[in-house]
Amino acid sequence: AQSVTQLGSHVSVSEGALVLLRCNYSSSVPPYLFWYVQYPNQGLQLLLKYTTGATLVKGINGFEAEFKKSETSFHLTKPSAHMSDAAEYFCAVSGGGYSTLTFGKGTMLLVSP
């Protein structure tokens, strides 16, 4: 079984500041890890994913995340926030194969001018 914990339901940053959204996971098998973004009144869109190989993965819009097995973490970062980054971000875990995605509760990113 898999589970995801996202620390902080809301994160506020200023435009140009570092974005850090935290995600910790639990999985009984080697995990596949994902970050999805949801803009208001839209469906979820994949930002980036880790399956195997390089532990630092880069996604769209300048986001990246690092898989740290020892810490069971997959935190999402972006060096410089932009107003258009304001959205809700979901971390998700899968056991691979045809197993399903389990989502965290989400973190709302607020970006102020």
Partner 1 sequence: EAGVAQSPRYKIIEKRQSVAFWCNPISGHATLYWYQQILGQGPKLLIQFQNNGVVDDSQLPKDRFSAERLKGVDSTLKIQPAKLEDSAVYLCASASGQFANTGELFFGEGSRLTVL
Q: Which residues bind partner 1 (CB under 8 A)?
A: 4, 9, 32, 34, 41-46, 49, 51, 90, 92, 94, 96-106
Considering beta carbons, is residue 73 or 104 the nearer one to partner 1? 104
Per DSSP, 91 falls in state: E
- In the complex, what is the shortest distance from the CB of residue 103 to partner 1, in angstroms, rounded to a whole number? 4
Cβ burial 74-98 (10 Å sphere, 16+ → b, else e):
bbbebeebeeebbbbbbbbbbbeee
State the Cα–Cα distance between residues 1 and 90, nearest whole angstrom: 18
Considering beta carbons, is residue 16 or 96 the nearer one to partner 1? 96
Considering beta carbons, is residue 1 or 18 the nearer one to partner 1? 1
State how far Cα 111 lies from the chain centre.
17
- In the complex, what is the shortest distance from the CB of residue 112 to partner 1, in angstroms, rounded to a whole number? 22
